[in-house]
Amino acid sequence: MAWAALSELVPYYPLYALLFLDTGLSGAQISLLFAVWSVTALLTEVPAGALADRWSRRGVLVLGGVLQAAGFVVWTAAPGFRAFLVGFVVWGVAGALWSGAAEALVYDGLAAVGAEESFARVNGAMTAAELLVQVPTAVAAALLYAAGGHELVGWVSVACCLAAAALALRFPEAPRAEDGEDLLDTLRAGVRAAVRTPGLRVVVLAVSLIGGLDAVEEYFPVLADDWGLEPTVVPLAVLAVSLVGALGAWLAGRAGRLPSPALLGSLVAGGGLLFLAGAWARPAALAAVALFYGLYLGVLVVAEARLQERIEGRHRATITSVAGLGVELAALAVFGAWALAGVSGVAVVVLATVPLVAAGLRLPAREPVDDG
């Protein structure tokens, strides 16, 4: 949990868009940067998971922190479009390295001491910590910017990334027997297990669909502004939504394996709350959005735990990364729905996922699938 919080305690996060604008980038250039960031993550997601399985999950987390720090060094030392482009490519690779490795490392670490039943609780606490740390991150970013501008924010961000990498070095990792596979063999075997094993494929799909819904978070400030909140209040309103989400993740993790009907009911209720918020379209409607987010993150935490329970064997990080790739692709549906119909369109997507999610979560909670 400490690593999850520290990896998000990066002062650049609330301010990098401002950095781009202050450097003189156009809207088209900023959009191109974000596109390169996304494409990099998509292309490297699954290979990064295979690297974690083949080499070291702990080592991959450390490497990801060092790479992100390197990207921010480039941003801070020579701010400009080319530097930002390089930094986003490196950051995209770093994010891919963390994606599958973190959950695999935590689950196998718990399993090594017979505590795998605690994964939902730990995962919920990690998700909550990542959201709660937005508060000190925003405060630190404001204070650092006031004291030394973007340069001070940048160098402190580099230090935070390196500190997270150093903390990851302390994670225990059980040794794995040599199996004669090379990296390409591991990649193929993990992907094959994820897409061809019926009992596993449906859970990977469910987690992909649920995880992709988190893209709606990008629009919370837009909703707050559109519904009449003063610009000075918008950050506080968005923070309140995130805090309710953190509470939902924490409670779901503490509850352990919720029954599938409760998970599906939460998802249906969340979709209904989004419809209500879109129809209401007033500042108070953000309360409905916050409740949606809390219910949604609770479902996500438990679904991710169900996925880890279904996997046995040596390709855990690769399979988890396949689900991560699915999350990135499913997020595109959320973006498209927003472009067509705003928050109501996203609510339709939420409800449309329910039948497929039901198929993935109705399997017995403790029926592991060997990935070969």
For residue 113, with 0-12 CB atoms within 10 Å meaning exposed, 13-18 middle and 19 or more buried, which class applies?
Answer: exposed
| Per-residue pLDDT at 364 | 52
User: What top-level class would CATH report for the domain 1-171?
Assistant: mainly alpha
pLDDT mean by block of 10 residues, the chain; 372 residues: 80 90 90 91 95 94 97 97 96 94 92 91 93 91 94 96 94 74 92 92 95 93 90 87 96 82 93 95 96 97 94 93 95 92 95 91 53 50
Per residue in 217-251, pLDDT (tens digit) is 989 988 998 999 987 888 889 999 999 999 999 99
CB 167 within 8 A of CB 345: no
Q: Which residues contact 277 (CB under 8 A, 6 or more apart)?
A: 223, 285, 286, 288, 289, 292, 343
Per residue in 130-162, pLDDT (tens digit) is 999 988 998 999 999 999 999 999 999 999 999
| Per-residue pLDDT at 256 | 65
CATH 1.20.1250.20 positions along the chain are 1-171, 195-363
Cα–Cα distance between 83 and 24 in angstroms, integer?
Answer: 13
CB 66 within 8 A of CB 59: no
| Per-residue pLDDT at 181 | 81
For residue 301, with 0-12 CB atoms within 10 Å meaning exposed, 13-18 middle and 19 or more buried, which class applies?
Answer: buried
Spell out a b/e string for 304-339, using b for 16 or more CB atoms within 10 Å of the CB, else e.
Answer: bbbbbbbbeebbbbbbbbbbbbbbbebbebbeebbe
| Per-residue pLDDT at 2 | 72
Residue 209 one-letter amino acid:
L
Helix-helix angle 81-112:316-361, to 10 degrees: 80
Q: What's the CATH code, domain 195-363?
A: 1.20.1250.20
Q: End-to-end CA distance of the chain: give it in Å, rounded.
A: 30
Give the global pTM.
0.91
Helix extents (H) in the chain: 2-8, 16-23, 27-54, 57-77, 81-112, 119-132, 134-168, 183-196, 198-212, 220-226, 234-255, 260-280, 286-310, 316-361
CB 140 within 8 A of CB 12: no
Cα–Cα distance between 177 and 280 in angstroms, integer?
Answer: 58
Cα–Cα distance between 150 and 172 in angstroms, integer?
Answer: 36
| Per-residue pLDDT at 370 | 47
| Per-residue pLDDT at 367 | 46
Q: Which residues contact 357 (CB under 8 A, 6 or more apart)?
A: 206, 209, 210, 263, 264, 267, 299, 303
Count of residues making up the chain = 372
> Cα torsion for 190, 195, 201, 203, to the nearest 10°?
60
Cα–Cα distance between 212 and 210 in angstroms, integer?
Answer: 5
